[in-house]
Structure formats: structure tokens, C-alpha cells
Structure 1
Amino acid sequence: MSLIRKPRAVLLTGVAALLTATLVPAGGAAAAGVTVAKPAPAGNVKDACGPVKPGDARCFAEIRTDVHGGTGVRGKAAARITGHAAPLPSGLGPADLHSAYNLPTTGGANQTVAVVDAGDSANAEADLAVYRSTYGLPACTTANGCFHKVNQRGTATAPPSDQGWGVEAALDVDMVSAACPQCKILLVEADTQAASDLAASVDTAVRLGANEVSNSYGIQESGDTATYAKDYQHPGVAILASSGDSGYTIPSEPAVYTSVVAVGGTSLAKASNTRGWSESAWSQAGSGCSAWIDKPAWQTDPNCPGRMVADVSADADPNTGPAVYDTLDGVPGWIIVGGTSASSPFLAGVVALAGHPEHFADASRLYGPSAAAGLNDVTTGSNAMPWNDCGGDYQCTAGVGYDGPTGNGTPNGLTAF
């Protein structure tokens, strides 16, 4: 990986140059350090994590505010515990996601999927137990060796305080569970949401034996982007990161690193077609053309001279999102959460199901000819914003083959992984 220390306006060509005209002044936002405002969430959605100071990362979880399913175990498990059946929570469950993405119900027993979050999620293990019991997944606890929670140094002492990432942490462990019920889960809690602490947590996750590491957060790329690149480069371990929730814009790190699988987002809905599901690009899924990271040889899209985000995708729209159980932040209990914060840990679980993290020193495997049959090509939808439109170019518009919002598509079984 190398830096492209050129103004953004020089980097973008053709249709892609509209980004400069509509988004940034001459010289480029990445070069000038301009912060691009995030569009306001829809009226029924709010950000799980608030604004951050420079040098800090923001988690990308998005919470539905119009749905709340109460507390405690639901479904058939509730009947076994209380004698009274209770409907499953609103939102997609593991069976829905396995159906949508043609995934096996077994696999990954020898894999450890790590998720990196900021601050202590004190209720993480107890909340995870409610989620897994509700959906009939095997118990994943500290006692049985499935669940392990550590700080960024790898010890059991909790970070100094909650950083407001409770919903994010719950989403992460629930989505790994949904994709890969037999996987072990390692929750690494950074002291703060500073880039340095999160990067150190990734190194700790790998040192402790993680096979896959999911990072559902980001910082807008800049001239300092290369600082922590090495912390997200671990051959033999698959490192994944969310592409963001600001639509077509300046890419964020760590997703923009060439050693990272950048995970975009879709809107997923049941349908009366052969697949049983339909998918389109989620309107806020992050995509963008890097002004600071060279284009890897395996990425050949024509209108972005730098690294293009994203590589692959899965459901991220909070309006079609999964059910999550959290009792730490916000309204406690069953909620629906989305954002590419959902798609990254889910895809980490998919990689674990396939059992070959060594294939993902980078995302090149997803660009090979053999991968196409194992991916659903998402061909409709756009993440263009009124103030930032790519003019119908693939960088912000889904179409046949590669596009920015959804990458090369979504899982269709495990052959691509």
C-alpha cells in the first residue's frame, strides 16, 4: 500500500469528477482536511453513536426508533422458560438471513470471530444469551469457552467507561451469531474510540487467535490515513470493515485499506421470486474513491484511480434490518438495528463459515471470475445524495457487475468465500 498525495480533483476523472464539483473545494476535501457532514437519518432512524472529535472513530449502527419488542427471551424458548409462547421479535432473524444468503446451518466450529468496539459493554454476554436462546442457537458463554471479552491489551479488566457503543457491540455479537452459530466470539473493547486504541485492539484480537476481525466503525480518510494501516494487515486473518452510512462520499478508514475487505450495504426484502428475496443498494451505504490509497491490481473499475469502496455487501438498511437484543444503551430490549455495522460482522461470520480466512489477506478473491457464481449481483438502487451525485456512474449506482454501494454483490452460499 502506498499514498497518493495528490489533490482529490486531480484524482477523479470523467463522471467521477462530479464528486469534486459538488462536494469539495478545489484541492480536495481529503487534502484540505474538510469534514463532510453526514446526512440526517430518516425520521424513524437514529445514529447509535453520536458525533466524535477529530482522530476518533464513529460506529455506524443505525437504530429504528419506531419499533420496540420488549425484553427477555422470545419465541419457543420463552414457552420453555415461562410456559407461555411469545412471538419472535420484529426484524430479521438468523433463519431469515441464512435463507436470503443460501448459507449452511453448520460450520465454523474451529473459527474465532473477533469484533472490535469502544468502551465496556457490561451486559454483552447476558444480552447475547437472550438473543441466542430466542433463536434456538447453541449457548455461547465464557464458561463453555465460546465467548471471550477482553480489553485492548487482552486482559479481563474492563475499559474505563462505556463509550456509548452498547448497541454497536450487541449488534456485532448478534450478527456473528446469526451467520455462524458454531463460531467462537471474541469481543475486544478499546479504551476509547480513538483510532490508536481501536487499531491496538485489532492487533490484540489477532494475537489472541482471531481468524476473522470485524470493525464496524470509521474515520474519514485523510493525509494521516496510512498511520494505522499496518494494524489492519495480518495475512492469514480476514480483516473486514464497514463502508459507512453516509452514502457516496469520501471513503473511511479502515475500510479503505487494501488489506481490508470493505463491506457495503443493501436493502433486503422477502419476495415471490425463485430466490425468495430481493435486494437493492441501501441508500446510505458508504462508497467512494480514495484520494490517498493506490488502486490495488485486483480492482479494475474504470473511473476511480484510487482504492474504490466497497468490495462486498449484505443487508444494512435499518428498515429491513435484523432484530438485536441490548440492555445497555437506549431503550432496553429488542430493537431493530442496521447500518453497515450490521453487514460487516455478518460477513465476518460468513467467512468463518467457509473456513478459509487465509484467502482474505485482501479482497482480491471476491474479484476473481470464480467468485461471481457465489455472489448475488445487486443491480438496482443508489446511494447518491442530493448534494453529492455521481451522475449515474457505478460509484454511487448499483448495476450489473461491480458497483460502489454493493461491491461485487452479496453472499450466495459459500463458494466465493
Structure 2
Amino acid sequence: MRTTPPTRRFRRVGAAVVATAALVLTAFGSAGPADARTTVAKVTPSVTWAKACSTPKAGYAACNAKRVTGGVTEYMADKAFKKGVTPKAADATTPSGFGPTNLWSAYGLTSAAASNGAGETIAIVDAYNDPNAEADLAVYRSYYGLSACTTANGCFKKVSQTGSTTSLPAGNTGWAEEISLDLDMASAICPLCNILLVEATSASYANLGTAENEAVTLGAKFVSNSYGGSESSAETTYDTSYYKHAGVAITVSSGDSAYGTEYPATSQYVTAVGGTKLATSSTTRGWTETVWKTSSTEGTGSGCSSYETKPSWQTDTSCTKRMEADVSAVADPATGVSVYDSYGITAGWYTFGGTSVSAPIIAGVYALAGTPTSGTYPAQYPYDYAGTSSLNDVTSGNNGTCTVSYYCTAATGYDGPTGWGTPEGIAAFAP
């Protein structure tokens, strides 16, 4: 295993970039260039969407990205924007989902996003190659006033699962949508972080796991995974081979098929990230969240693992094995986020949902909070802040029916669909 220090592979973002980010935040305040629109009468968000990836076969995973194809999103309903016209890439100039400043506001991150994360590296692990990844990321960051993150300035790097920068996997348009979503969300939450994109040769667990190991070998202390599949007896072997990295915050989407478990979110070594419906409100926080559920087969995943040992820090009483999830963030496509993508589809702005959104958001929050303590598993950190103001407790909604209420229904304190809740600042994710 290579031990080249990450500082040799990624140029640290210096004080000048920190100053630039601060100027951006000062200029836009709590609203970026796409967010400063007049509030109008609310329209109930309702959208249709397409899955970026198809159902996987045994031994393989699917990405969890959901691309909105029609309807009215929460962002559109809350702003004098397009008057409810279906969001589509034909209008390549204006996003129709939440942008960075919306997410900073919702999760108490405005101050941290302006000053934290310099020198940290968030790794994004996905399958196949997105040839336009860096160019599309540049469009997103430029539009929202974020500093450039490129190969040339040392902020961005793309490699294969073996670390090659030249011998990359074949392209895949569905996974390219996932890659664009993940890169944009990592950028949105931690603008000063470096980004490492590791592309697996295929969506098999063996290849995705090899890419996971490569991300850690290259020095990333934060790794986001927006994919998953059905649990199997093989997963505990995958755990020790690929996902057991003490001192690294590994986040994984909890799944988008409503109540039910998904691997690798059920791994005892990762932070399983559930999904919420996020909307503006008249509360002091200014936002409200409920469990994301669109139908009996579409919504955030949760449940009690069939195979995984329960980690010592997880203390719910009914599930004797690993319980999914730990924390959560926005995932409902109807309250989705803006993403720029151009590979294999009309180049332009799209709105995305799915727990593919929430996993990189939480990876970014971990990065803002600082390098994890050596020898620890950061999935435990939010449990140390359970029930405090550092987490927004989600107490309403469900993702299906179940025999044990908290497995599928939101409650005060811990519940399966949203874990201990969503971030309110970075304290609950700090080492």
C-alpha cells in the first residue's frame, strides 16, 4: 500500500482562497446569485423523476441519483422563478433546485463553509468514467461564486481504482449523472476542500471496494459513496476488505426504495445517511424537515440489518444487529438540489434527489468539522451529541410499514429513517 502523504498529491488551499470564499459569502450574504429572488405564494412541490442507474444484479450496486424530469420543486415553489415551468436542461442558464447558500442556511453551515476545510480532501467513489466531470464542476462552482477547483490548481484530481490518471474506465451516462451530483454537493458544503474522484472499473462491489481503498491510500479522510444494493451474506467480507478504515469518515446513502436495508449503508464501519424532505418555513430555523417518502417503493431506506454486527455506540434496543441510518439530510427530489451535467444528455442544469444527495452533504460536513481522530470510526460522533441542539431532530413522517415503529417512522430522538437527525452546524461531526 502506498503511503505518499496527501499534501504531496493535493496542493493545500491557501489563505487567499479562504479570503476569496469569505468575500463571496459577504457579497451574497445568506443567498447566492441564484437564491436572491422574490418570495411568492407557495405551490406544493410535486415532481416526476428518472433513476440514473438501473436495479443491480447480485454482487453489484446501483447509484441512488434521481433526476427530476417534470413538476414543481420546493425551490421553484418558493421563488418567483419560471412560474412553475417544468425544470429541464433546455434552459441551460438557471438552476431550479437548492444551491449552496440554501444548504448552508438549512444546516447552520454558513460560517463554517466560509472558513473551514482548507487542505482537507473529500473523495468521491463512483463507477465508470465521466469525461466531463471537471468541466461540469467548473460550471457549478463558477455559477455559485465558489473558488475554482481544478487539476491545474491542485484542488481536483480524477483517478481510476488503481490510481491512474490516464487509464480510466469506460464512460457511463447514468453514473456520470451520479458523479456530477456528488462533486457538486461536496463543493456546495465544503468549498475550500480538495476533491478526489475515484472511478471504479464497474459497479461490482469488488471494483467499488478497490476504489474505496484507493481513495484512502491517496490520503482522503472523508469518502462519500452514493450507491448500494441488497444485503447478502458476503457483505461482512466486503466490510473488512473495503470499508473498515479507522480514522476515515465514510458516508453511504441509505437507499431510495423506502423501508428496507441496503449495503454498504448497513456496514458497521460507515455513517449511513438517510433522506429528508426539506422545505422553507416560518420557524426560527427557517426550515422544516420530514422523512422522505414518495410512495411505498420510493423514499429513504432504513431498517435492521440481517448480517451486520451492532456497533458498541449504537444503543437502540429492538434491533440486535446494525441499525440503518445514523443521520440524514435532504434527499426528496421534490425538494432537490441543483446540479450541472453535460455527459450524454443536454448540457445544462438539472434538479436531483435521492440519498445520493444526502451522503456527499454529510461527507462535506465531516470535512468542515476537521480530520477524524486516528483509530476512531466517525459514525460514532453524532451519537455523542444525540438529543442536543447540534442536530435537528426529525420527528414526523415514515418510509413505509414495519413491525417495530422506529424502524420506519420518525420519532423524538433516534429513528431508522433519519437517525439522530440532520446537521445544525458541525459540532456533532467533529473528531
Scaled to the shorter chain, the TM-score interval is: 0.7 to 0.9
- Please list the CA deviations of residues 165-185 of structure 1 after superposition, one character each: whole Å capped at 9, or x if unmatched: 011000000000000000000
Query: C-alpha separation between the residues in 2 aligned to 1:49 and 1:126?
Result: 22
Alpha-carbon distance in 2 for matches of 1:176, 1:46: 22
Q: Which residue of 2 aligns with 1:319?
A: 334
Give the counterpart of 1:111 among 111, 116, 120. Answer: 120
**Normalising to structure 1: TM-score of the pair?**
0.83
Q: Which amino acid aligns with 2:162?
A: R
Cα separation, 1, equivalents of 2:344 and 2:282: 37
Q: More displaced, 230-239 or 158-167?
A: 158-167
Q: 2:382 aligns with which of 356, 366, 374?
A: 366
Deviations 1:217-262 (A, max 9, x none): 012111111121121111111111110001111x222111111010
- Name the structure 2 match of 1:173: 183
**Paired position in structure 1 for 2:355:** 340
Greater mean alpha carbon deviation, residues 344-353 or residues 227-236: 227-236
SS in 2 for 1:394: helix
Instruction: Give the alignment partner of residue 245 of structure 2, picking from 226, 234, 240.
Output: 234
- Quickly say closer, same or farther: Cα 1:358–1:331, change in 2 above 3 A: farther
Looking at structure 2, the residues matched to 341 and 330 of structure 1 have their Cα atoms a distance apart, in angstroms, of 19
- Which residue number corresponds to residue 157 of structure 1? 166
- Which residues of structure 2 form unaligned runs of 5+? 1-45, 71-86, 294-298
Q: Deviations over 1:29-77 (max 9, x none)?
A: xxxxxxxxxxxxx9711111112222111000011011214465x4xxx
After superposing the two structures, state which structure 1 stretch, 49-58 or 271-280, moved more: 49-58
In the alignment, does 2:84 pair up with 1:68?
A: no
Tell me how far apart the structure 2 counterparts of residues 323 and 43 of structure 1 sit (CA, whole Å).
14
Q: Residues 358-402 of structure 1, C-alpha deviation per residue, up to 9 Å, x if partnerless? A: 386142221124672210000011100xxxx11570110011000
Identical-pair percentage: 52
What residue number does 1:267 align with?
A: 277
Partner of 1:404: 416
- Amino acid across the alignment from 1:190: A
Flag the 1:92–1:43 CA change in 2: closer, same or farther, 3 A: closer
What SS class does the counterpart of residue 157 from structure 1 fall into? coil
Paired residues for 1:212-291 under 5 Å: 212-230=222-240, 231-249=242-260, 251-283=261-293, 284-291=299-306
Alignment match, 1:93: 99
Which position in structure 2 is the counterpart of 1:17?
none
Contact kept, 8 Å, 1:365 with 1:371, in 2: the verdict is no
Which of 48, 51, 54 lines up with 1:47 in the alignment? 51
CA distance in 2, matches of 1:203, 1:392: 36
Whole-Å separation in 2 of the counterparts to 1:256 and 1:314: 17
Query: The residue matched to 1:334 in structure 2 has which SS?
Result: strand
Report the secondary structure of 2:373's partner residue.
helix
Within 2, Cα distance between the matches of 1:245 and 1:353? 26
The answer to whether the 8 A contact 1:312-1:408 is kept is: yes
Cα distance change, pair 131–296 in 1 and its aligned pair in 2 (3 A): same
Q: Give me the whole-angstrom Cα distance separating, in 2, the residues matched to 1:218 and 1:392.
A: 24
One-letter identity of the residue aligned with 2:413: G
Deviation of 1:203 after TM superposition, in Å, equals 0.4
Structure 1 Cα separation of the partners of residues 377 and 156 of structure 2: 25
Question: Alpha carbons of 1:44 and 1:214: their partners in 2 closer, same or farther (altered >3 Å)?
Answer: same
Q: In structure 1, what is the Cα distance between the partners aligned to 2:344 and 2:321? A: 38
Alignment of 1:379 with 2:388, yes or no, is: no
SS of residue matched to 2:329: strand
In structure 2, the CA distance between the partners of 1:410 and 1:43, relative to structure 1 (3 Å rule), is closer
- Alignment match, 1:416: 428
Question: Residue 254 of structure 2 aligns to which amino acid in structure 1?
Answer: S
1:205 corresponds to 2:215: yes
Distance in 1 of aligned mates of 2:243 and 2:319? 23
* Contact 1:373/1:416 (8 A) holds in 2: no
RMSD: 1.6
Partner Cα distance (2:330, 2:385) in 1: 24
Between the aligned partners of 1:247 and 1:167, the Cα distance in structure 2 is 21
Q: Alignment partner for residue 295 of structure 1, among 310, 314, 328?
A: 310
Distance 1:169 1:118 in 2: 9
Measure the CA separation in 1 of the matches of 2:392 and 2:308: 28
1:133 positional shift: 0.4
Counterpart AA for 2:219: G
Aligned to 1:128: 137
Match of residue 8 from structure 2: none
C-alpha offsets along residues 82-110 of structure 1, whole Å, 9 cap, x if unaligned? xxxxxx41100000000000002221012
Which amino acid is 1:224 matched to? A
- The answer as to 2:364 corresponding to 1:349 is yes
Deviations 1:331-363 (A, max 9, x none): 431000011101001110110011132386142
Give 1:143's match in structure 2, choosing from 148, 152, 167: 152
- Quote the offset at 1:297 in angstroms: 1.7
In structure 1, C-alpha distance between the alignment counterparts of 2:62 and 2:394, rounded to whole Å: 27
Secondary structure of the equivalent of 1:416?
helix
- After TM superposition, the structure 1 stretch with the greater mean CA deviation from structure 2, 352-361 or 304-313, is 352-361
- 2:300–2:417 contact (8 Å) kept in structure 1: yes
| Count of residue pairs brought into register by the alignment | 357
Q: Corresponding residue for 1:29?
A: none
Q: TM-score, normalised by structure 2?
A: 0.80
- State the one-letter code of the partner of 2:122: V
Q: Is the 8 A contact 2:247 2:378 kept in 1?
A: no
